[in-house]
Amino acid sequence: DAGVTQSPTHLIKTRGQQVTLRCSPKSGHDTVSWYQQALGQGPQFIFQYYEEEERQRGNFPDRFSGHQFPNYSSELNVNALLLGDSALYLCASRLQGVRNSPLHFGNGTRLTVT
């Protein structure tokens, strides 16, 4: 049973550049959420996608955008990178049809902005 997979595992970008992170949800899951985890902090909610639409968004600027594809996989895009965007970006999936089913996480993409 494939869990949540994310790519790439590590990424180094320069301030001002753009980055795209990718996620495939756990088999059978249809909802994908993205979280940002700074060093020593808990994950912070960025947004959630269900049925290819953004359903809710956390307190993140419009530089953060996403997309969900018909096969439920998802991308997170960050434009105009800032040094403060350096963090672990986590993708999590769940089954929307089961009320408040818990999130299952991938191992994340470690983004370093220099």
Partner 1 sequence: QKEVEQDPGPLSVPEGAIVSLNCTYSNSAFQYFMWYRQYSRKGPELLMYTYSSGNKEDGRFTAQVDKSSKYISLFIRDSQPSDSATYLCAMSETGGFKTIFGAGTRLFVKA
Interface region with partner 1, contact rule CB under 8 A, candidates 14-22, 60-68, 78-86, 98-106: 98-106
Which residue, 59 or 71, has its beta carbon nearer to partner 1? 59
Residue entry with tokens 């994908």: 32
Structure tokens at 97: 């049809």
State in angstroms the smallest separation of the CB of 37 from partner 1. Answer: 9
Contact code string over 26-65 relative to partner 1, x by CB under 8 A = -------x-x----xxxxxx--x------xx-x-------
How far is residue 60's CA from residue 7's CA, in Å, rounded to a whole number? 22
How far is residue 85's CA from residue 104's CA, in Å, rounded to a whole number? 23
Which residue, 52 or 80, has its beta carbon nearer to partner 1? 52
How far is residue 26's CA from residue 92's CA, in Å, rounded to a whole number? 9
How far is residue 89's CA from residue 100's CA, in Å, rounded to a whole number? 22
81 is an interface residue for partner 1 by CB under 8 A: no
Which residue, 19 or 93, has its beta carbon nearer to partner 1? 93
